Copies of this chain bind each other. A is one copy, B any other.
């Protein structure tokens, strides 16, 4: 449902009716190793994917590592404050350079033979290699990956930059996010800071996570606590086709989604009045879930590990000053506990779906009118495989 004034209720009904004709994806999309490999190649190694937020590496020399399509990447802020991304592979004998998830360094030194790289990737030390005729350090910089920021979030793309401008090939992050320009300005996303990260290992295909996130038809049975705060049928979608999907649900009881029902921090930004009683849910293809509450922003990174396994990172972001004395309401655990409980309820039904879909008795079933967004997500997914 388009939430602008121009979109009449009748349009919404039409969209829903259309979605209701759709069915769930065939079995092979959830169990096939071949399709999994195709997804890794065509989607996760081609699209811009979320790996973190600039607040994680605030100072020069701060770095974190990320796993993308089977690759370990180093994301580092260099001495001139530019954020850069490199393959975590020494140019000498291929050794993994950074073992930790993150930290602070002055240079990147290989733990094996001590080859040393500056934070911009240049090889600056390689013992005895000057004895090799023709060896030039300039030929052995770290391999870089495309990296760019959107609203303070760090995205990388393993795609080759080339003359091609077709979708599925390389396009700039700015171009990719153009349809969302200004949409989230009120939430001050670039300034927020994560108070907590939880990693989940879910035994379900990654697409089931998106399909689950994109509807609240399951909420009455699966999420009793959530359903008390936001009625399952209060969803209004303003992005209903394409790589960005979602809308808001109304908070009809309490001030936010938390165990207590209270707001648990300063508002994250300069919200419009109506947004204080709304929670916005958007899926950003292919690996980001963006959940905007009045007092915090929850972000999921979705990482396929195998057809039947998905690693999920979930961050809870708050106002940068929320942790300071200036915010007596600050109680992040109230939100974290609420969503950790709700997340686990979701992962559980996703795992049950994975089990049943693997049956020879499974056949695509009919989406209900309350599942128009999962149906739209499936369509976008199928388009992305064709590119």
Contacts and interface: CB of A to CB of B under 8 A. Distances in A.
Interface of A: 16-17, 20-21, 24, 70-72, 87-97, 99, 111-114, 126-129, 131-133, 135, 140, 143, 158, 211, 217-218, 220-222, 349, 352-353, 355-362, 365-366, 368-370
Contacts of A368: 92, 113, 126-129, 131-132
Given A94-B362, A96-B353, A114-B220, 15 more contacts: A20-B132, A24-B93, A70-B360, A87-B361, A89-B359, A93-B365, A94-B356, A94-B365, A95-B353, A96-B355, A112-B218, A113-B218, A113-B368, A128-B370, A135-B366
A99 B127 CA distance: 50
A360 B71 contact: yes
Nearest to A131: B369
Contacts of A111: 221-222, 349, 352
A361 B97 CA distance: 13
A47 to B, nearest CB: 16
16 contacts: A21-B132, A72-B356, A72-B359, A87-B360, A89-B356, A92-B368, A93-B357, A95-B355, A96-B355, A99-B352, A112-B222, A112-B352, A113-B218, A113-B368, A114-B220, A140-B365
B362 A221 contact: no
Nearest to A143: B361
Contact of A90 (B93, B129, B356): B356
Contact of A362 (B89, B218, B356): B89
Contacts of A99: 352
Number of copies: 3
A132 B367 CA distance: 9
A366 B221 contact: no
Given A217-B127, A222-B112, A92 B365 contact: yes
A2 to B, nearest CB: 20
Contacts of A358: 70
A222 B217 CA distance: 57
B114 A349 contact: no
A58 B255 CA distance: 51
A112 B360 contact: no
Contacts of A357: 89, 93-94
B359 A71 contact: yes
Contacts of A355: 72, 95-96
B128 A90 contact: no
Contact of A96 (B112, B129, B352): B352
A353 B88 CA distance: 11
Contacts of A112: 218, 221-222, 349, 352-353
Contact of A353 (B21, B93, B158, B366): B93
Contacts of A369: 128, 131-132
A217 B113 contact: yes
Contacts of A71: 359-361
Contacts of A370: 128
User: Which of A135, A360, A369 counts the most B-chain CB atoms under 10 A from its CB?
Assistant: A360
A131 B221 contact: no
- A-B pairs with the 3 shortest C-beta distances? A87-B361, A94-B357, A96-B356
B114 A359 contact: no
Contact of A365 (B90, B218, B220, B349): B90
